[in-house]
Structure 1
């Protein structure tokens, strides 16, 4: 019976330790949300958050030269489904 309890504890510990490891496979991305146009842009992937951060000024410069107004910047681990999400286009398709 002691063996069964130790096995259960082993499984619980393994599952707790495995959960954060799944995020290690996700790369780092720069997420920039602009107000005009209402879009979310993803730039990446990067191996580290420092690498993503070092590239951010160039992305901002490009977007601002195109007339975009910046709302927020986040560097995060994720796997975006699209690199550009046009909120205005999304709103129009829902209204139609």
Structure 2
């Protein structure tokens, strides 16, 4: 999308969101997770999302996928633990270690 003279991208809403995804379909609605799984041809139960917000955890659980909550700020650790995220961490390196290496 091209930026206008005001700095906003053409075709974006006032709050910088694309107009094609209605607000009611945004996280915590599971729609974005289910749509991503569908578009990649992977069953949603076989997907794992790494998220840094409670809406990410809620949407992923509602979709039936696995979620790793990334507490990128100290105050997020307790709420993530209480949400029932499948796993949570505050170390970015631990996220990459959690995924197995896939050979082509």
Q: Is the structural similarity TM-score above 0.5?
A: no
Pair member with larger Rg: 1
**What TM-score range do you get, normalising by the shorter chain?**
under 0.3
TM-score (ref. length: structure 1) = 0.25
